[in-house]
A and B are shown apart, each in its own frame.
Chain A
């Protein structure tokens, strides 16, 4: 008992599950560094950037994401990859390979954003829209346009 306690004190606090608490904590294996990844379009379709975390309910069900390369779907895919990598880096901050990828996606995301805004209008209320105030223009994200009904 005492040796155990000494070991715990040595290791300090904040390690979970630590030597003091090997039981009664749920265990989730940590994803390995620089894991296999999908392209950003495939990632948006799968709902995750990582094949290792793609565990579908109905494997036989075909996804039918409109694979047309509109400025919106490209921006969604880039922003999705950025969000997914941001979460990954929170628990893997030392993975420099993925950090570089994260930054390159952020650069692409900025370009995608400009392309989208030129074609469809502002994403942020503070985006500059020369000529008039376009923020309130339809469609809003939950609207269907006439040809989509």
Chain B
């Protein structure tokens, strides 16, 4: 059972619209190493886990990733508000706009729609946990790259928080291999 809390995990207040940056950041919404894939990966891997600390960790981190999905969606939403037709064309946002207007659709930065083929549930404890370690690092790199191209401190502030969470999750997944 899930219950919705009407608040974000970390505040998102983006003052300046920037559709070009939104098109990059959307990759952490529905891209190959994004938060949607992360939460579905962990929440789906739980069922075949043999030990309680693994069930607990995948439940808690999978749930936190849903909160991160909401934060990334919020960034994209706030970066694409109140756009003029000229801004849409100049930013190259027209290819996204024609399909989704300013709705938030789970897709790669390249436009490819979110795909379950970016994640795995093997049913094997070691294989799944090793994938999870890699997934946290891949998400961390994506956030590094967003920080490289972001010139908006309001955006970078939130991205830095999300990046820090990947490091903590990596640590916890790594520790489960020694708690038994």
Binding site for B on A (CB under 8 A): 14-17, 25-31, 44, 46-48, 50, 53-58, 61, 63-66, 72-73, 75-76, 79-80, 83-84, 86-88, 90-93, 121-125, 135, 140-142, 144, 148-149
Query: Of residues 19 to 56 in B, which have CB atoms within 8 Å of A's CB atoms?
Result: 51, 53, 56
Say whether B138 faces chain A, with CB atoms less than 8 Å apart: no
User: Given contacts A26-B133, A55-B167, is CB(A144)–CB(B13) below 8 Å?
Assistant: yes
User: Given contacts A31-B171, A47-B161, A48-B167, is CB(A141)–CB(B6) below 8 Å?
Assistant: yes
Interface residues on B, range: 35 or more
Determine which of B6, B60, B144, B147 lies in contact with A83 in the assembled complex, contact meaning CB atoms within 8 Å. Answer: B60
Say whether B83 faces chain A, with CB atoms less than 8 Å apart: no
User: Given contacts A57-B147, A57-B163, A124-B3, is CB(A73)–CB(B11) below 8 Å?
Assistant: yes
Binding site for A on B (CB under 8 A): 3-15, 51, 53, 56-57, 60-61, 64, 70, 73-74, 77-78, 81-82, 126, 130, 133, 143-144, 147, 153, 156-157, 160-165, 167-180
User: Given contacts A31-B171, A142-B73, is CB(A87)–CB(B160) below 8 Å?
Assistant: no
- Residues on the B chain within 8 Å of A86, using CB: 60
